């Protein structure tokens, strides 16, 4: 069975041919990019194909600890009503890193009426795709995800022990082939799982940090699949790491003084004839590309919460850390937030470099492509491209902290043009509750610094 089958009957017949499958999970992706759902008996797979299953609409809006949002009207005013969870069309995905043979069916949420529930991040991205389609346009997207492998026995981030040398990694090894070979069995299993789930994993590289790696996804004109692939890839990497007695983390900044984990997004836009509208045959790109860049920059401050949704995220967005801190763009400039790669004009594209790997891929792509579309529709003009070190004090800055980003997302003028009010209000409430959760904790550093000194 194709892992991208778009008929609900296919996974039923697939399961019939896989008697070894003992465990079936079904789940939807919440605002934080976490899959939440149920374990169901194998024989109930037919029920999903016939009409989906019921789960509370509020399930996609819980905080990062899985707690209901205090005051959430979906829970306390609306009676915590159910929605209908139906298959995304991805099929039943085999999972081979668990102790027993298992599979997962990804779902998304609809209202009882059959209308999409726009608190579901996947539905919000689908809405952006429909807006492009109404204009005869199709985004073409590729993603790059970075992660660290760390020691599973430590209470904080500690580099892993090499399976080959038996020694703990102790230095940055950017583009090291030896480090890729040391963890060769891990990568072999990652690629095997990606193939089984039709996740188009491409190049793997050792990145800037100790035990840090990046795997790129091949580009696709299927916007939902691009986000699905990123969500599934993160689950695959974490699951395979556990199988190899490692921990894989997509935290934005697991080490305070080392490179963070980025989630870079490359995209272009095709017209109805399949032509790249960012390409005008020049090295500078078309006016349409410039409009898209202007939209990204115009909406970047109010969109930052999508790209940096957690407390830890803001440790990454600092000057001279291989991550942007200024709202800027440039050609072949990796210090800017928006980079235009060089190469053949036919492949002209935009690279968006703000997001951390901890972000929700559906919301990241919706935020990026939604802002670009606003720029295209309004024919916005970008400032001059920036050359040199883009951490300049002369440039406007991204929100410097989590609370500021939440306020900007809530008050932004462009956000309501990208997202339905349901998602905007749910995301704000979720993040405010998480901020309160962190604020209520006294850290070990605070305790040691202030206990007897002040």
- pLDDT, residue 78, reads 58
Task: Show Cβ contacts of residue 322 under 8 Å, excluding neighbours closer than 6 positions.
Answer: 208, 259, 260, 262, 334
Position 1 pLDDT exceeds 50: no
Least confident of 198-207, 338-347, 402-411, 422-431: 198-207
Which one has a higher pLDDT value, 74 or 416? 416
**pLDDT (mean) for 351-368:** 98
**pLDDT (mean) for 248-266:** 94
- pLDDT, residue 64, reads 96
**pTM tops 0.75:** yes
Which one has a higher pLDDT value, 7 or 431? 431
Least confident of 42-51, 94-103, 259-268, 405-414: 42-51
- pLDDT, residue 15, reads 78
Query: 1.10.10.10, 3.10.20.70, 3.30.70.20, 3.30.530.20: which CATH number matches 8-117?
Result: 3.10.20.70
Angle between helices 361-378 and 287-298 (to 10 degrees): 120
Position 377 pLDDT exceeds 50: yes
**Per-residue confidence at 99, pLDDT binned at 50, 70, 90?**
confident
In sequence order, what DSSP letters do the residues of 245-291 get, joined into one string? T-EEE--S-SSTTS---BEEEEEEEE-TTS-BTT-SSSSS--HHHHH
Tell me the three state secondary structure of residue 406: helix
Position 185 pLDDT exceeds 50: yes
Determine the topology of domain 129-419 in CATH: Creatine Kinase; Chain A, domain 2 (3.30.590)
CA distances to 162, 300, 328, 354, 379 from 396, in Å: 42, 10, 8, 14, 21
Tell me the three state secondary structure of residue 231: helix
Least confident of 116-120, 174-178, 179-183, 271-275: 174-178
- pLDDT, residue 77, reads 53
In whole angstroms, give the CA distance from residue 144 to residue 419.
24
**Per-residue confidence at 174, pLDDT binned at 50, 70, 90?**
low
In sequence order, what DSSP letters do the residues of 46-71 get, joined into one string? HHHHHH-EEEEGGGGG--TTSPPPTT
Structural contact between residues 346 and 106, judged by C-beta atoms closer than 8 angstroms: no
Of the candidates 52, 200, 47, the residue with the CA atom closest to the CA atom of residue 117: 52
- pLDDT, residue 91, reads 84
Where do the domains of the chain lie?
A: 8-117, 129-419
Position 4 pLDDT exceeds 50: no
**pLDDT (mean) for 35-62:** 86
Percent of the chain residues topping a pLDDT of 70: 95
Instruction: Give tens-digit pLDDT for 108-156.
Output: 999 999 999 999 999 999 999 999 999 999 999 999 999 999 999 888 8
- pLDDT, residue 350, reads 98
Please state, rounded to an integer, the average pLDDT across all residues of the chain: 91
Least confident of 14-18, 250-254, 338-342: 14-18
In whole angstroms, give the CA distance from residue 430 to residue 63.
5
- pLDDT, residue 8, reads 60
**Per-residue confidence at 72, pLDDT binned at 50, 70, 90?**
confident
Neighbours of 218 (CB within 10 A): 13
In whole angstroms, give the CA distance from residue 187 to residue 189.
5
């Amino acid at each position: 069975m194709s892992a991208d089958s778009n008929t609900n009957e296919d996974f039923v017949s697939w399961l019939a041919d896989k008697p070894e499958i003992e465990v079936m999970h079904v789940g939807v992706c919440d605002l934080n990019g976490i899959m939440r759902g149920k374990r169901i008996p194998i024989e109930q797979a037919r029920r999903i194909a016939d009409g989906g299953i019921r789960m509370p609409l509020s399930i996609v809006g819980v905080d990062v600890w899985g707690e209901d949002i205090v005051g959430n009207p979906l829970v306390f005013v609306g009676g915590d009503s159910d929605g209908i969870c139906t298959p995304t069309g991805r099929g039943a995905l085999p999972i081979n890193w668990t102790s027993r043979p298992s599979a997962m069916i990804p779902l998304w949420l609809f209202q009882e009426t059959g209308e999409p529930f726009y608190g579901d991040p996947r539905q919000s991205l689908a809405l952006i795709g429909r807006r492009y389609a109404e204009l005869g346009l199709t985004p073409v997207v590729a993603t790059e995800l970075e992660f660290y492998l760390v020691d599973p026995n430590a209470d904080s981030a500690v580099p892993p022990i090499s399976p080959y040398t038996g020694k703990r990694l102790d230095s940055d090894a950017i583009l090291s082939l030896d480090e890729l070979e040391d963890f060769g069995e891990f990568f072999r299993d990652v690629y095997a799982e990606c193939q089984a789930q039709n996740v188009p994993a491409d190049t793997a590289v050792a990145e800037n940090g100790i035990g840090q790696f990046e795997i790129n996804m091949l580009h696709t004109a299927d916007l939902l699949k691009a986000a699905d692939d990123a969500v599934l890839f993160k689950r695959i990497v974490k699951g395979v790491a556990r199988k190899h007695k490692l921990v894989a983390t997509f935290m934005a900044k697991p080490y305070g003084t080392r490179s963070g984990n980025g989630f870079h997004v490359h995209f272009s836009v095709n017209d109805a004839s399949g032509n790249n509208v960012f390409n005008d045959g020049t090295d500078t790109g078309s006016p349409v590309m410039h409009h898209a860049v202007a939209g990204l920059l115009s909406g970047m401050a109010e969109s930052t919460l999508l790209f940096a949704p957690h407390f830890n995220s803001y440790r990454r967005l600092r000057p001279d850390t291989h991550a942007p801190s200024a709202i800027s763009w440039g050609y072949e400039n990796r210090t800017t937030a928006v980079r235009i790669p060089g190469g053949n004009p036919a492949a002209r594209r935009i690279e968006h470099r703000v997001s951390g790997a901890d972000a929700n891929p559906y919301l990241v792509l919706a935020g990026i492509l939604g802002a670009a579309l606003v720029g295209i529709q309004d024919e916005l003009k970008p400032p001059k491209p920036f050359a040199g070190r883009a951490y300049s004090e002369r440039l406007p800055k991204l929100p410097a902290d989590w609370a500021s980003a939440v306020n900007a997302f809530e008050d932004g003028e462009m956000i309501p043009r990208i997202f339905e009010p349901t998602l905007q209000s749910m995301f704000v409430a979720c993040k405010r509750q998480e901020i309160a959760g962190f604020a209520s904790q006294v850290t070990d550093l605070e305790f040691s610094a202030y206990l007897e000194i002040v």
